[in-house]
Amino acid sequence: MACSNLTLTIYYRIYLDVFVSRHIFAYSSHYLLINLRKNILIYVLLMYSFFLLLKAITNWIAFVTKEFPIADITASASKAQINHMTLVLKNSPILEII
């Protein structure tokens, strides 16, 4: 049984379409999975390093505010301003007129 060139071409096209494309797709999907794993690992490492940086910044802020309490500074500044304003108002000539 002799095969014509047309049937050989059809068989060859079916072989290319079915088997080779399956292997290429399997290889590319495997390659994408490997890259996806690498990308997820890189993403997790970046997020962990960002978390450590954020933790270091918050620890530094806590240390600075413990050493130099901002609330005490602002409270004492506002008390000083209130005391200054009461002194100004007490010595004001407008209050003497009233």
Can you tell me the distance from the alpha carbon of 92 to that of 84, in angstroms, rounded to the nearest whole number? 12
Q: For the segment 28-68, what is each residue's pLDDT rounded down to a tens digit?
A: 556 666 666 677 777 778 888 888 888 888 888 777 777 66
* Strand (E) or helix (H) holding 43: helix 21-67
Q: For the segment 78-87, what is each residue's pLDDT rounded down to a tens digit?
A: 666 666 666 6
Can you tell me the distance from the alpha carbon of 55 to that of 64, in angstroms, rounded to the nearest whole number? 14
Contacts of 3 (CB under 8 A, 6+ apart): 11
Predicted TM-score (pTM) above 0.75: no
